[in-house]
Amino acid sequence: MEINKNNGDFNKIIKKYQSNPFMYVEYPHKRFWNKKFENLDDTKEYFKESIIKNKDKKFLFYVHIPHCHTQCLYCTCHVEITKDYSRVKRFLDYLYKELDMLNSIFDEIKFKPNFTDFHLGGGSPTYPKIEDFDILIDKLSKFADLRSLNEFSIEIDPRRVKEDKIEYYHSKGINRISLGVQEFDPEVQKMINRVQPDKLIERILTPKIRKLFKHGINFDIICGLPGQNLKNFEQTVKKIIDFHPDRICLNYMHLSTKFHPHQLKMPKDKIPDENLRKELFSLASNLLENNHYARAGYDHFVSKDDKLYDELKDNKLKWNRLGIVTGNYENIIGAGVSSVGKIEGDFYYQNTFENDEYEKLLSQNKLPISNYHVMSNEDKIREEIIQSLRTYFYLDIKLIEKKFNLNFHDHFKNEVEKIKIYEKEKMLVISSDEIEIINNGAQFANLIASEFDTYISGS
Ligand SMILES: C[S@@+](CC[C@H](N)C(=O)[O-])C[C@H]1O[C@@H](n2cnc3c(N)ncnc32)[C@H](O)[C@@H]1O
Ligand code: SF4
């Protein structure tokens, strides 16, 4: 795959890519959401109204547990690093309050959303001890029958669990485990403060666990970590293929030292530049695609035995904060510090990041929401375009015109003009009926999609 080009337009694109911070887990990016939490009664009303409007839709329940034992230096997730278990206990007590409050809101509106999927993320949702996890499961089971969910997944830090704990999770209804593998090279692991020999993964993925989680194993890996090069990353990806997980999330390392200053502790001169990152990504992508995986969306790969592969072929995939997911649900309700909820095409919200604020609001019997966005019609159109380009590398213009009753080439005259730079580079093809991202354009799908973002261009 051709990546390094020496012409002016391609260099402009790379430069723009480097300064483009958006990964589009939702549109608009939360930096541009339009409401703060001054009036919490209004927030609660929007929340209720939105859920009522979505009575017939399916929902995912997301729970964020922020604690981790040590800080991985690349990490940009919302975490609280602590070895003091009383911090976890205290957080769980407030999380239970939030869950109880959600339950009483559903009582007030006289119905429970149809929760078909649950995801436990973090931080490290594996941190709570079994006796505390039992209580969490008991609280969550008030929302749905946890043993008959479509997907009930948990993020696993392989350094902190053994086979028996994973078996325990399975006994509680969890049917999908997502392992933070990141990188196998020992030198890279040292540089990111995450020493995790491959033996750990072997120890976890025993025949018994593979049988319990048949078609239920995800790996997270990252390209762009310090010390990665084409040689060691090839070894890592080959090892990953040998483990044959069902789904792989191939993250580009996101650098945001302003908000995550611990990233400065990684050796700067060892961090791959933008061109090398793209080459690493292409290398991994080619290896995976030649070994029974299909690319599903910008940064996900699915085994051809996985149900996501069927959904990919049927154009049913969805993309959200959890990555590429089955098209089973549209909406998300999030609980725990920093978690995000999404009532599609209508209302987005995020809980506060601050523990003190989280505790204070819950003690006052208020939803701990700090920031939210009520979608305009224009937001809905652009969200759909960005979703489609990023997930399918394709836009059916006729479908957008029909759904939103507009003339695409008139409405998006400026945007179409802007994306011609990518057309010149043979990264996409524009016609009256469709936009198709081709060749190495897929590597820049986020950037191409961002040309339809009115918030960034106005920022
Ligand atoms: C909440 S974390 C994973 C859960 C678990 N704590 C672990 O580390 O195994 C979710 C995933 O986000 C990804 N991630 C975290 N920070 C990242 C960054 N700066 N750039 C790209 N991916 C990142 C990692 O691949 C990680 O596995
Ligand atoms: S990658 Fe996982 S374990 Fe490491 S700091 Fe982030 S959330 Fe915690």
pLDDT score for 307: 84
Share above pLDDT 70 across residues of the chain, in percent, rounded to a whole number: 90
pLDDT score for 1: 44
User: What is the mean pLDDT of the segment spanning 91-110?
Assistant: 95
Beta bridge partners of 332: 60, 342
CA 282–ligand 1 middle distance (angstroms): 20
CA 51–ligand 2 middle distance (angstroms): 32
222 neighbors 243 (Cβ within 8 angstroms): no
What's the CATH architecture for 31-374? Alpha-Beta Horseshoe (3.80)
CA 393–ligand 1 middle distance (angstroms): 24
Greater confidence (267 vs 342) lies with 267
Residue type, 134: D
Ligand 2 pocket: which of 64, 77, 120, 249 to mutate (most atoms <8 Å of CB)? 77
CA 68–ligand 2 middle distance (angstroms): 6
What average pLDDT is seen over the chain? 90
pLDDT score for 153: 95
Domain limits, the chain: 31-374, 377-457
What are the pLDDT digits (tens) for 321-331? Answer: 666 666 666 78
215 neighbors 305 (Cβ within 8 angstroms): yes
In the structure encoding, which two tokens stand for residue 232, read together?
Answer: 């060691």
Ligand 1 pocket: which of 155, 159, 217, 250 to mutate (most atoms <8 Å of CB)? 155
Confidence band of 402 (pLDDT split at 50, 70, 90): very high
Cα 126 from chain centre: 18
339 neighbors 102 (Cβ within 8 angstroms): no
Over its C-alpha atoms, the chain yields an Rg (Å, rounded) of: 22
Q: Is the pLDDT of residue 193 over 80?
A: yes
Share above pLDDT 90 across residues of the chain, in percent, rounded to a whole number: 66
Q: 127 vs 3, 122, 285, 326, CA distance in Å? A: 41, 10, 32, 27
In the numeric block, the tokens 């149809």 are attached to 114
* Ligand in closest contact with the CA of 255: 1
In the numeric block, the tokens 């050796």 are attached to 267
Give the residue, by CA position, lying nearest to ligand 1 atom 25: 220
CA 267–ligand 2 middle distance (angstroms): 19
Q: Is the pLDDT of residue 208 over 90?
A: yes
User: What is the mean pLDDT of the segment spanning 367-386?
Assistant: 90
Q: What are phi and psi of 258, to 5 degrees?
A: -65, -45
Q: Measuring from each residue's beta carbon to the nearest atom of ligand 1, which residues come in under 6 Å?
A: 68, 74-77, 121-122, 124, 155, 157, 180, 182, 220, 222, 251, 253-254
d(CA 303, CA 294): 6
In the structure encoding, which two tokens stand for residue 182, read together?
Answer: 């990141």
Which residue spans within 150-199 are E strands per DSSP? 151-156, 176-182
* Ligand in closest contact with the CA of 222: 1
In the numeric block, the tokens 């762009």 are attached to 224
Helices 274-289 + 230-243 axis angle, to 10: 30
Q: Is the pLDDT of residue 3 over 60?
A: no
pLDDT score for 458: 47
pLDDT score for 38: 63
pLDDT score for 387: 85
Q: Is the pLDDT of residue 78 over 50?
A: yes
Q: Which of 80-84, 287-291, 364-368 has the lowest mean pLDDT?
A: 364-368
CA 449–ligand 1 middle distance (angstroms): 23
Q: Is the pLDDT of residue 291 over 50?
A: yes
Ligand 2 pocket: which of 65, 88, 156, 157 to mutate (most atoms <8 Å of CB)? 157
Is 335 touching ligand 2 by the criterion CB < 6 Å? Answer: no
Give the residue, by CA position, lying nearest to ligand 2 atom 6: 75
CA 64–ligand 1 middle distance (angstroms): 13
User: What is the mean pLDDT of the segment spanning 143-165?
Assistant: 95
d(CA 428, CA 393): 9
Q: Which residues of 414-446 are buried (b: 16+ CB within 10 A; e: fewer)?
A: ebbeebebbeebebbebeeeebebeebbbbbbb
- Domain at 377-457, CATH from 3.30.950.10, 3.40.250.10, 1.10.10.920, 1.10.3720.10: 1.10.10.920
User: What is the mean pLDDT of the segment spanning 337-342?
Assistant: 92
Confidence band of 5 (pLDDT split at 50, 70, 90): low
